[in-house]
Structure 1
Amino acid sequence: MADRISSLPDELVCHILSFLPTKEAVATSVLAKNWKPLWLSVPTLHFNDQNYLQNEDTYSRFLQSVYTVMLLRDASQPIQSFNLECKSPLCNTYIVNVWVTAAIQRKVERLSLSLFFMGNLPSCILTSTTLVVLNLKGLIVKTVSSVSFPSLKTLHLRGVYFPGPGFLFEVLSSCPVLEDLLMSSVLFNESRQINFLPKLIKADISSFRLYIPIAPFCKAEFLRIEVVCMYYHE
């Protein structure tokens, strides 16, 4: 079996490993000699701290494992998908920023970031030219001094807070090819009309506590709005 595994092309091995959680993909390096460096080239990375919440020592192993995967990876080796789910506040804003910056530098195309402690959004995300899919949950967008999403087609926001006036406007107005928009439990302080989104196909909007501008979404092929304590603003 070992010889058969060793004979597989590296590209095929990386494709197979991309379907595994990153921890398990790294563990496969013991199966064959030529597999040892391949986990550093797996295009899909998924990290979840669910099984490391017992104590600080256990959690430090999780943090170290993510650092190892992200920082040992060659900067020229692109990442197709990066998924991070963290429930512990020990995974603080600084740590998340280091990991996400590493993913952005490696031209990540699909980024999913889910935090359960309302961390700050790493600012490097807002100027990514390679992102096609962006899923955010449990984050605060503290600054939008520079925003550019020229390739972004899917944007899903859950429990995201835009505290500054015009912050949501800046983000959506910087997505010229956006096709799929989901906003759930998003809080914002909007003072300007959001631009029309010419490529929008699907919009799913729910659980707002402030007014929501309808005009930018009205020409979507699929439009769903769940009204919860909402004021309409044309």
Structure 2
Amino acid sequence: MVSQSTSLNDLPDDILTHILSFLPIKEAFRTSILSKRWGPFCYSLPVLHFQSDNIQTNDWIPLRRLIDKVMFSPLAHHVTLKSFHLNCRYIHFHDATAECLPFHDWIEEAKRRFLKELRLSFITHIPLKPTTFFCSKTLIVLKLMDIVISTMLHCSVDLPLLKTLDLSFVTFQDMEDVMKLISGCPILEKLRTLDVKATSGVTLGGYYKPLSKLIKANIHLFEVPLRAVYNVKFLTIWKVDGEMSFKSRNQFILQRLSRV
């Protein structure tokens, strides 16, 4: 009778890697106790999700080492990265500076592996460089939650393949930076904004090139001008206080815009 561990070892490398990709990264590494053959697969997973909530200094150091170990391993350089998700609520980030933290290095390495989906959550107090995740030739999905973006004054946006953009509790230097970001996504299909703020300037004047591929938008009032999304097929607008103002289709929005 063949044991379960032996039968799993008989599976092809790509099947084993696919199975391990469904596990949290720490659990994936623990599976190496079942077979030494499995260890290298943990460095070449196509989906990476690192999550820690309210971690202390003693927890942050080993987590940082683990992410470094996975992201910069020579075994991973040839692997296309489908998804990189970093949810990292570290209580002492407010005492640090962006230069001494490894977030940008991790994301740049992920981009070198033709990253398709990027999710960043709860990296508070530290302004992140917009060029790190607003310039990618391969990114299709970008979701940012509870982070701060540094100035985009001298930053260009280049996201030619981005189809989904989700901004929740994101702080920019200026609200014009929001439109600069959106304008840099020529084939954007899904847009969501929730409590997007600016530390200075709040004007949203000027001309905005409509997003010709936009299918669905869910935005808070005043965060995105209607002129920028007038040709969307499905639109949900929320009031500033969070109550839904109205839902509509393209024709209804055009009628409203004719009165602006």
Normalised TM-score (structure 1)? 0.89
Q: 1:59-208, aligned counterparts within 5 Å?
A: 59-72=60-73, 73-90=75-92, 93=98, 94-122=101-129, 123-144=131-152, 145-164=155-174, 166-188=176-198, 189=202, 190-206=204-220
Aligned match for 1:32, one of 32, 35, 44: 35
Q: Kindly provide the amino acid, as one letter, of the partner of residue 114 in structure 2.
A: K
Unmatched runs of 5 consecutive residues or more in structure 2 = 243-255
| Percent of aligned pairs sharing the same letter | 32
Preserved contact between residue 89 and residue 117 of structure 1 (Cα < 8 Å): no
Distance 1:192-1:140 versus aligned 2 partners, 3 A rule: farther
Structure 1 position 229, deviation (Å): 6.6
Alignment deviations for residues 36-83 of structure 1 (CA, whole Å, 9 cap, x no partner) = 101111100000112x72x32222112211111111153222211001
Corresponding residue of 1:222: 234
- Whole-angstrom CA distance in 1 between matches of 2:11 and 2:36: 12
* Secondary structure of the structure 2 residue equivalent to 1:171: helix
* Secondary structure of the structure 1 residue equivalent to 2:90: coil
Preserved contact between residue 182 and residue 204 of structure 1 (Cα < 8 Å): yes
- Whole-angstrom CA distance in 2 between matches of 1:24 and 1:195: 46
| Root mean square deviation of aligned Cα | 2.3
Distance 1:191-1:216 versus aligned 2 partners, 3 A rule: closer
- Whole-angstrom CA distance in 2 between matches of 1:142 and 1:191: 21
Q: Kindly provide the amino acid, as one letter, of the partner of residue 110 in structure 2.
A: A
Q: Kindly provide the amino acid, as one letter, of the partner of residue 133 in structure 1.
A: V
Unmatched runs of 5 consecutive residues or more in structure 1 = none
Q: Kindly provide the amino acid, as one letter, of the partner of residue 80 in structure 1.
A: K
Segment of structure 1 superposing worse, 19-28 or 130-139: 19-28
4+ residue runs over 3 A deviation: 89-93, 188-191
Structure 1 position 105, deviation (Å): 1.5
- Whole-angstrom CA distance in 2 between matches of 1:211 and 1:24: 40
- Whole-angstrom CA distance in 1 between matches of 2:128 and 2:186: 21
Segment of structure 1 superposing worse, 73-82 or 171-180: 73-82
Distance 1:142-1:193 versus aligned 2 partners, 3 A rule: farther
Greater C-alpha Rg = 2
Structure 1 position 164, deviation (Å): 3.1
* Secondary structure of the structure 2 residue equivalent to 1:103: helix
